[in-house]
Structure 1
């Protein structure tokens, strides 16, 4: 069975053109929604994905109607492939039921992997440069050096439990452990 998914980004846009294309392509069911693809939930897409069974085909008018990003698109397509569900994009001439469509799908996956590696590489370089400039990275410490000394004194001199010390300093017990208080 062919199941269609149509989406427009705003309420004032019209789904008619996508609906007509999906019907012309032979879709037996069409799930529609008016929501931006880059944010928020997409309940109609969730329902369409849930309705698909092995041997079915998910059909969209255009590739950008399905994924929020390349990574999101690849995730959805990999899920479909693992469930033996074909994918077809009418405007982009992509059909994972054909050899060419499968090749294109795998090329998209390789590009997404490459893009992720580049982002990771740039992030690492940026963090290194920030460290060299003396920038302190990570979450700021909850306890000052004075509070750490105070907590150590409460632990050794007053023999207070971690829970009591944490309560007095208004922090969690794990904060005390991370500060090295034993």
Structure 2
């Protein structure tokens, strides 16, 4: 699905509305943030979390992309004497049942991600077996690469080789090394 700015803004508004309705006192936004920067944002939210408070998220995936990360964040929250609540999934770790359900849901999320990775790898293997490879097409075929090495052996400069083959100096070096 193509995600436009408008789509992302609407989804963000939906999250803010849900958090406001649930009584969130402070909101940390990760709008457009992913990977390590999202982890840094989570860290900022966790630093401000005090004993007895509950960290609320709109959806569980706001904490992390894999089971280990989510479990680590939840454990960190519990060590601080705080609770966790996910609005979309209806999870609340202030009770033992919520903690158990969170662990199960996180495991299924990890299973889904691992399955997606397996399917991607299988698809790439089938494509490679059919001599289809992803990425940009090569600028230099095997014959031109051999010609470049031959010219280099004759002490022709890399710059001149690039001009002869119609490629950049970086491309020449990529095939000569």
Which band: TM-score by shorter chain?
Answer: 0.5 to 0.7
Q: TM-score, normalised by structure 1?
A: 0.59
1:130-152 CA distances to partner (integer Å, 9 max, x unpaired)?
23333234443232234313321
The whole-number CA distance in structure 2 between the counterparts of 1:14 and 1:138 is: 36
Question: Which residue number corresponds to residue 71 of structure 1?
Answer: 65
Question: Which residue number corresponds to residue 172 of structure 1?
Answer: 170
Return the structure number with greater helix share.
2
1:9-32 CA distances to partner (integer Å, 9 max, x unpaired)?
366x6956642431xxxx5x3227
**CA drift at 1:123:** 1.3
The whole-number CA distance in structure 2 between the counterparts of 1:14 and 1:128 is: 39
* Greater relative contact order (CA < 8 Å, ≥ 6 in sequence): 1
| Partner-residue secondary structure (3-state), 1:9 | helix
From 85, 91, 95, the counterpart of 2:92:
95
Q: CA RMSD in A?
A: 4.2
CA contact (8 A) 1:58 1:87 kept: yes
Question: Which residue number corresponds to residue 21 of structure 1?
Answer: 22
1:19-58 correspondence runs (5 A): 19-22=20-23, 29-31=25-27, 40-41=32-33, 46=41, 48-53=45-50, 56-58=53-55
The whole-number CA distance in structure 2 between the counterparts of 1:8 and 1:139 is: 35
From 76, 79, 83, the counterpart of 1:82:
76
The whole-number CA distance in structure 2 between the counterparts of 1:108 and 1:142 is: 47
Long gaps (5+) in structure 1: 1-6
Distance 1:74 1:58, change over 3 A: farther
CA contact (8 A) 2:64 2:70 kept: no
CA contact (8 A) 2:63 2:69 kept: no
Distance 1:31 1:73, change over 3 A: farther
Long gaps (5+) in structure 2: 1-8
1:135-175 CA distances to partner (integer Å, 9 max, x unpaired)?
23444323223431332133211164x6x4686541427x6
**CA drift at 1:127:** 1.7
Question: Which residue number corresponds to residue 153 of structure 1?
Answer: 150
From 122, 127, 138, the counterpart of 1:130:
127
The whole-number CA distance in structure 2 between the counterparts of 1:129 and 1:52 is: 48
| Partner-residue secondary structure (3-state), 2:61 | coil
